[in-house]
């Protein structure tokens, strides 16, 4: 059938991935650093991806294409959600996405309650879409901060969804993953907790890049912690 569908100019695509994040149907994927319309039957022709593209690489055209298959889109979304909640192929249950509900309990010297509200916490293991991201206040913390700052749970984690990482030890950049999380969820605010050491600045840069790439105006707060546990 002949219908309106998107067209991606590969010469203009800068590989930012924002269109793929904006496409709720999953019709666009990043292939070798470029956006590609991999499923024409997933494209509804409404163009949510167009305003997300910073280079104007996406436009409409009318041509022969498979009809939009809404049922297939819903099935693919359900399969993706199921996969994001499943353990890794190695069988490790530690990667299963889940919320943690806690009852308020008095703080004492013998029992200090955890404030962690979800699992997993590693940036690289976290799913892009999870129910706990919608409407959340997001904490993105460098690994060492919780060990350096004694009251980290009460001061930083409490009331937030927490993601952690080490920009020096982890391979790759967090920017693309964080961009997708911010772009596809209703995150109300972002707090970054980092150490004073220079290499820890990488986690803040990744968050700043993700906020810019997401196209959203999300409030950002930054806390810098010294190795002795003081706030710099």
- Write out pLDDT tens, residues 78-128: 887 766 555 555 555 555 566 666 555 555 555 678 999 999 999 988 889
What is the value of pTM for the model shown? 0.59
Domains and CATH numbers, the chain: 2-71 (3.30.70.20), 93-225 (3.40.50)
Q: Average pLDDT, stretch 145-166?
A: 94
pLDDT of residue 65: 93
pLDDT band at 130 (very low <50, low <70, confident <90, very high): confident
pLDDT of residue 104: 57
pLDDT of residue 63: 93
Mean pLDDT of the chain: 87
The fraction of the chain above a pLDDT of 90, given in percent, is 58
Within 8 A by CB and 6+ apart from 85, the residues are 96, 97, 98, 127
Within 8 A by CB and 6+ apart from 30, the residues are 15, 17, 20, 36
pLDDT of residue 89: 52
- Higher-scoring residue by pLDDT: 48, 231: 231
Within 8 A by CB and 6+ apart from 64, the residues are 1, 2
Report whether the peptide linkage leading into residue 80 is cis, meaning its omega lies within 30 degrees of zero: no
Where do the H-state alpha helices sit in the chain? Answer: 18-22, 70-84, 145-148, 152, 175-184, 201-214
pLDDT of residue 168: 85
């Amino acid at each position: 059938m002949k219908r309106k569908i998107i067209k991606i100019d590969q010469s203009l695509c800068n590989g930012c991935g924002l269109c793929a994040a904006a496409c709720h149907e999953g019709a666009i994927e990043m292939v070798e650093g470029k956006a590609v319309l991999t499923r024409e039957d997933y494209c509804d022709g409404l163009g949510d991806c167009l305003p997300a593209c910073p280079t104007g690489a996406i436009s409409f055209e009318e041509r022969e294409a498979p009809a939009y298959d809404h049922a297939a889109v819903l099935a693919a979304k359900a399969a993706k959600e199921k996969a994001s909640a499943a353990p890794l192929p190695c069988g490790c249950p530690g990667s299963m996405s889940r919320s943690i509900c806690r009852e308020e309990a008095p703080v004492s010297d013998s029992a200090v309650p955890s404030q962690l509200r979800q699992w997993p916490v590693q940036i690289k293991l976290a799913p892009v879409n999870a129910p706990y991201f919608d409407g959340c206040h997001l904490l993105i913390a460098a690994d060492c901060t919780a060990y350096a700052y004694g009251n980290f749970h009460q001061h930083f984690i409490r009331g937030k969804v927490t993601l952690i990482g080490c920009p020096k030890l982890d391979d790759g950049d967090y920017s693309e993953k964080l961009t997708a999380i911010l772009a596809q969820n209703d995150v109300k605010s972002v707090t970054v907790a980092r150490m004073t050491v220079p290499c820890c600045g990488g986690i803040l840069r990744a968050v700043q890049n993700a906020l810019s790439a997401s196209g959203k105006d999300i409030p950002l707060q930054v806390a810098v912690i010294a190795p002795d546990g003081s706030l710099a």
